[in-house]
């Protein structure tokens, strides 16, 4: 299964027989998206995460619950966009997406560490997609704390500043420092196979493909 970052919190997960797009954004945020997928997930209703018209032919998932579409299973977990239980920025949905026996967790605009119930619901994760910019979501230090909570095989930072995007966000540097990564050369995609092997979490920085 291939993970491609399209900027902001938008990813394309492509398996053998299905594709998923997460949190598509409008042209005001970055390059115009023209995507095809079997399903699209929306973590919350803010404009930069819910431009579903950019994704053709996709079944839309926009809240907590259990779903199965085109052989892809999705579990949406209710969380909050801030550390005050949504008082500042509202609610957020974390999605666990299983495709080709690979479990991907997209944290959306999570704004707080996970509690025991949330961690149990998320379970074992192969790939964790985590926001790192701070402001209205996790900053680098809090993002690293959540990574240590989840202990995924791979972690991919998202929602950080990049020249390809029009939205001004903090860079990825602080998160990398908190994760003990001195240098990280951006890759075009992450390819992941199902595995029961355990080991140290690997940080993978992706370059947006748009």
Sheet holding 65-69, edge to edge: 65-69, 72-80, 91-99, 102-106, 127-131, 154-158, 202-203
pLDDT over 90 (residue 184): no
Q: In terms of DSSP bridges, do strands 72-80 and 91-99 run parallel, antiparallel, or are they unpaired? A: antiparallel
- Evaluate whether residue 9 is within a structural domain: yes
- Evaluate whether residue 209 is within a structural domain: no
- Evaluate whether residue 110 is within a structural domain: yes
- Evaluate whether residue 174 is within a structural domain: yes
Ramachandran bin of 98, using left for φ above 0, alpha for ψ from -120 to 50, beta for the remaining angles: beta
Contact 74, 95 (CB under 8 A): yes
Residue 138 phi, psi (nearest 5):
-60, 140
Q: Residue 34 belongs to what domain range?
A: 2-203
- Evaluate whether residue 161 is within a structural domain: yes
Q: What is the per-residue burial (b if ≥16 Cβ within 10 Å, else e) of 161-195?
A: ebeebeeebbebebbbebbeeeebeeeebbebeee
Q: How many domains does the chain have?
A: 1
Distance CA 41, CA 10 (A): 10
Distance CA 210, CA 208 (A): 6
pLDDT tens, 136-148?
889 999 999 999 9
Distance CA 175, CA 9 (A): 16
Distance CA 54, CA 106 (A): 19
- Evaluate whether residue 87 is within a structural domain: yes
Residue 17 is predicted with a pLDDT of: 92
pLDDT tens, 63-114?
999 999 999 999 999 998 777 776 777 789 999 999 999 999 999 999 999 9
pTM (2 d.p.): 0.95
- Evaluate whether residue 210 is within a structural domain: no
Residue 86 is predicted with a pLDDT of: 62
- Evaluate whether residue 208 is within a structural domain: no
**pLDDT-based confidence at residue 198 (cuts at 50, 70, 90):** confident
The domain that holds 105 is classified in CATH as 3.60.15.10
Nearest in space to 62 (alpha carbons), one of 102, 99, 92: 92
Average pLDDT over residues 166-179: 91
Place of tokens 């994704």: 55
Residue 34 is predicted with a pLDDT of: 92
Angle at 53 between CA 47 and CA 55, to 5 degrees: 110
Q: What's the mean pLDDT when you consider all of the chain?
A: 92
């Amino acid at each position: 299964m291939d993970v491609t970052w399209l900027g902001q919190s938008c990813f394309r997960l492509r398996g053998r027989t299905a594709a998923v797009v997460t949190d598509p954004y409008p042209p005001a945020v970055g390059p115009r998206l023209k995507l095809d997928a079997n399903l699209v997930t929306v973590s919350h209703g803010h404009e930069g995460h819910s431009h579903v018209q950019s994704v053709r032919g996709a079944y839309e998932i926009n809240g907590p619950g259990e779903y199965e579409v085109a052989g892809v299973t999705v579990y949406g977990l209710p969380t909050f966009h801030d550390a005050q239980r949504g008082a500042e920025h509202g609610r957020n949905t974390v999605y666990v997406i299983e495709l080709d026996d690979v479990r991907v967790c997209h944290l959306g605009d999570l704004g707080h560490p996970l509690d025991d119930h949330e961690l149990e619901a998320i379970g074992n994760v192969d790939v964790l997609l985590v926001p790192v910019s701070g402001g209205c979501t996790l900053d680098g230090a809090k993002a690293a704390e959540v990574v240590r909570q989840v202990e995924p095989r791979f972690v991919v930072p998202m929602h950080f500043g990049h020249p390809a995007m029009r939205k001004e966000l903090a860079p990825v540097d602080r998160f990398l420092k908190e994760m003990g990564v001195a240098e990280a050369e951006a890759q075009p995609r992450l390819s992941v196979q199902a595995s029961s092997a355990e080991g140290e979490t690997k940080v993978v920085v992706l370059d947006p493909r748009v």
